[in-house]
Every structure is written in C-alpha cells, then in structure tokens.
Amino acid sequence: MAQIDSHAIGLTRRRWLGLVATAVGTFVRAMPVQSQSLPQRCAPPIPQNREPSNGGSCPYPIPWLDKNGNHNQPAGPNVELSNIYHFKGKLARCSGFHGIGEDNQGNREAWGTPTTDYSYMAGEYWAARQAHQGVFAHT
Amino acid sequence: MGGLTFSSDGKTATLQMTNVPIIDQPRWPAMDAETTPAFLDFKLVFTSTDESVKYEDPMRQYRFEGFKAIAKLEASVRVPSINFAFKTDPLETSKCDFAVMGEEVNGKYYEPGKN
C-alpha cells in the first residue's frame, strides 16, 4: 500500500481540495479512492546543514494563468484544462452548471453561472524535483 | 470526507465530498469583500460519451485526450453564522454546458507529436 501525497493550495474564491488517498501503487480505473480533505504544508523548507534547496512540494500552477488558479479561464474547448503544470494523469472538467434549488426558507432560486465549474485530477505531478501522486478536486 | 470513484468500464467518475470548508463572499472580487465561513456537500458525476476530443498546444506544452462528457451536480451549502442553507434539486435535474473527461500531460511530461 502506498500513501498518495496531497496538498491543498490556498485559493480565494475557488478552491483546490487536496485529497489524501490510500491506494495500491498507481491508479486503477475501477478502484475507489477513499479520501479526505487534509491540507499539508508544502512551502519550500529552509535547508539545514548546507543541504540543497529543491523548492516546495506544492503543485506548480499553470504559468500563464492567474496565480490563484484558473479564475480567468473557464473550462472550454482548446484551453489548458489542468490546474497543475508538470502533471500527467486523469482529468475531468466541466463548466456552466445551472439548475434550481431551494433555501432553508423555502424560496426556490436558480443557481449556477458560466463559471460554475468543477474538476478532478488524479495522477502524478512534479515538484521539489520529484514525482508526487495526488488526487485533487476543484470547486 | 469524500472520494473519487470510477466505474469498472472507466466511463463514469463520481466525486463526492461532504463538509468541505469554503467561504461565502458575495461581493467578490471587490478588494474589501468580506468572507463568511461556510460548508459544502456535493456529488458530481461525469459520464463519458463516444465523442473524442483532443486539445493540444505545443507552445504551452499541454495535451488533453479524452471524450466529451455529461456532468451532473447536486450540492448543498450551509452558512451557519447567518443561518442560511441552500440545496439544489436532485442530481439529474442539473445541466452543464461543457464537460470532458480523459487524460492530460503537460509541462515536463509533455512530448510534442506523441499520441
């Protein structure tokens, strides 16, 4: 059994959720990934005893997008759908959710906007000069 | 708590999470927009169609290969400090304008010209 590294990236309006998962080796299509939200420190550590500095283990953001996430690029055809640079793995993304719901006062209201988007990413990313396994959700 | 599960044929993925800590920030993106702690439960289901897609940009070093998908969402949100809660109608009633699922490579993992 291998524990899959995870990290939560502090974002403002939208949010990445690091999902800690325990799974066998690599991802298998039919395998459920049990997970929980568990932010971890991934800032670059201060090297001790003249050790090399290889950066932090936080996933690297897409360089040409808002550093806080894909705020300015809703999911769509022919755009970078990943929120992590140096990534390979499964990805699904959707945007433009809308529907109807009800509040606790019984009021029926519409929800959703063109930027109401969600995603999951599950695979390998490169940070701190080594590969990490992770499962992430974007809400 | 939550999890990501795939059907045995890989065509359906379900992401479900409960008690996700979020913020309610109605005046975003105003610089002084106040925030209120809130909690989100959601269930998101992607179902792949047979229509394949490939998005690639060698200059930006990314390639996504997969299929168009149908995505359904149900969620509930609670803002305890103002005693507000909202729950969407059931999963199947939601609609989504764009959804895909597949495999992505980018950055150091990207090799141009590969399928």
* Assembly ipTM: 0.89
> Average pLDDT, whole number, for chain A?
74
Run of H or E including B42: strand B36-57
Q: A36 or A94: which carries more pLDDT confidence? A: A94
Give the minimum alpha-carbon distance from B67 to chain A in angstroms, rounded to a whole number.
Answer: 9
C-alpha–C-alpha distance, residues A95 and B65, integer Å: 18
Give the CA radius of gyration of chain B.
18
Q: Which two tokens stand for residue A79?
A: 């755009």
CB contact under 8 Å between B101 and A86, yes or no, is no
- At B97, the amino acid letter reads D
Residue with the bigger pLDDT between B90 and A9: it is B90
pLDDT at A31 exceeding the cut of 70: no
- pLDDT, residue A2, reads 26
pLDDT at A15 over 90: no
A–B interface: beta-carbon pairs under 8 A: 187
How far does the CA of residue A35 sit from the closest CA of chain B (Å)?
5
pTM: 0.80
pLDDT at residue B34 is higher than 80: yes
Buried b (16+ CB within 10 A) or exposed e, A6-29: bbbbebeebbbbbbbbebeeebee
- Which residues, including other chains, have CB under 8 Å from residue A102's CB and lie 6 or more apart? A108, A109, B86, B87, B89
- Give which of A26, A66, A93, A116 to mutate to test B binding, by max B Cβ within 10 Å: A93
Biggest CA-to-CA distance, chain B: 55
Q: Out of A53-67, A118-132, B1-15, B23-37, which region has the weakest mean confidence (pLDDT)?
A: A53-67
Which pLDDT belongs to residue B8? 96
pLDDT of residue A71: 56
DSSP character string of A49-116: TT-------SPEEPTTS-TTSSTT--S-TTS---SEESEEEEEEEEE--BEEEEETT--EEEE--TT-
- Kindly tell me the burial class for residue B65, based on how many C-beta atoms sit within 10 Å of its own C-beta (0-12, 13-18, 19 or more): middle
- Contacts of residue A119, Cβ cutoff 8 Å, sequence gap at least 6: A75, A81, A83, A91, A92, A93, A94, A137, A138
pLDDT digits (tens, 9 = 90+) for B38-59: 999 999 999 999 999 999 999 9
> In angstroms, what is the C-alpha Rg of chain A?
17
pLDDT band at A68 (very low <50, low <70, confident <90, very high): low
Q: Which residues of A touch B53 (CB under 8 A)?
A: 77
Backbone angles phi, psi at B106, to 5 degrees: -155, 175
